Amino acid sequence: MDIKDKRIVVTGGASGIGKALAKAFLAEDARYVLIADLNEKNLEESKNELNCDAYKIDVSKEDEIVSLITYMDEKAGGIDIFCSNAGIGGVPGFFEVTTEDWQNIWDINVIGHIHAAKHVMPQMLERGNGYLMNTASAAGLLTQVGSAPYSVTKAAALSLAEWLKITYGEKGIGVSCLCPQAVETPMTAQGAGTAGVDGMISADECAADVIDAIKKERFLVTPHQEVLEYIQRKASDYDRWISGMQRLQKKFEDFYNKFNQN
């Protein structure tokens, strides 16, 4: 899809990958770019810096997603590209994670994508074209050592994007799913853990790959090329893959224990 003159929404757009995406869309001469975020301070600062529209939203709330889409219909006449980018790291571990913690990360990392697609796609299907870009993570393809909630929700986000592409890709709906490893964002400011094994890229680098994917209507966006190799290894010998991940898990535990002792 050509980005020039398109009307675009980016959730989680006030910082990190979302802000970089908004900047990249503006550089591609998008007609109308709106950043949506829960953090009012970051939202106002980014709005002024980028000179675009902004909207406060909690993506876990269906009525707020609906209100955002209605706002764009009134302001811009519709939405051509919806980047469902908002997400959280959530509480790590497994036994430490409460039912409320699980529900919170599920609502943001998965249900937010579902509500966005459910409510923005009707206008796209009516027009015969539109684009969804969902941010997941390499954790959704491979797993996230040390965090069950993050692994599970990012795998679900990837699965949803894949289902949407299979079901509506022949009906004019483009779908891409962003699955990076470590990216320089507020979420990784204190370190990326095992996600940084292949180095950390900038949010701008990540956004550039998304732009390329949308233009080429490429589904899987993996700014870290190593991820593609890991997927192939996983698919070719699942048990061997799990054994390797168990070794990585052991290294993570050893580092965590040593860190806590110091």
Q: Which positions are catalytic?
A: 150
> How far is CA 116 from each of CA 52, 110, 111, 192, 217, rounded to the nearest angstrom?
21, 10, 8, 28, 19
CA separation for the pair 106, 81 (Å, rounded): 23
> Token digits for 31?
């007609």
Cβ within 8 Å of residue 143, ≥6 positions away? 151, 155, 245
Pairwise CA distance, residues 241 & 235, whole Å:
8
191 CB-near residues (< 8 Å, 6+ apart)? none
Q: How far apart are CA 188 and CA 185, in angstroms?
A: 5
Instruction: Name beta bridge partners: 34.
Output: 9, 53
Taking a C-beta distance cutoff of 8 angstroms, is the pair 21, 12 a contact? no
